[in-house]
Amino acid sequence: MPAGERRLWWCRKGHILGEIKHVLVGHHRVRALMLYEQSVTLEMLPAELPTLRGRVTGGMDAIQCTLCHAERDWVVGEDALSALLDGRRARLEAGT
């Protein structure tokens, strides 16, 4: 798969900590962060998923880049949350 089609998750210095995939948890399709065992640069990006530190489906604070030690939070369900709010706004505008 070309790199452009992968949803990469970066630290603020431009290293890749992992990638975002949709996985099934029970019957729900949720967004998960596939956290690489070792952060990589774009040049080092493997063609397939490398060894993982873990698969993060909930929120996780202060995930550290193994290259520069910058920390970044993974926030659960931004997409799911906005979908929920959109639905609620639509109902409010419809007056129900």
In degrees and rounded to multiples of 5, residue 81 shows phi and psi of -65, -45
Nearer to Zn ion, 52 or 81 (CB): 52
What are the tokens at 32? 């998960």
Listed residue (56, 52, 54) closest to 73, CA to CA: 56
Residues 28-67 that bind Zn ion (CB under 5 A): 65, 67
Choice from 23, 49, 68, 90 touching Zn ion (CB under 5 A)? 68
Q: Is 13 in the site for Zn ion (CB under 5 A)?
A: yes
Residue 71 lies near Zn ion (rule: CB under 5 A)? no
φ, ψ for residue 88, nearest 5 deg: -65, -40
Binding site for Zn ion (CB under 5 A): 11, 13, 15, 65, 67-68, 70
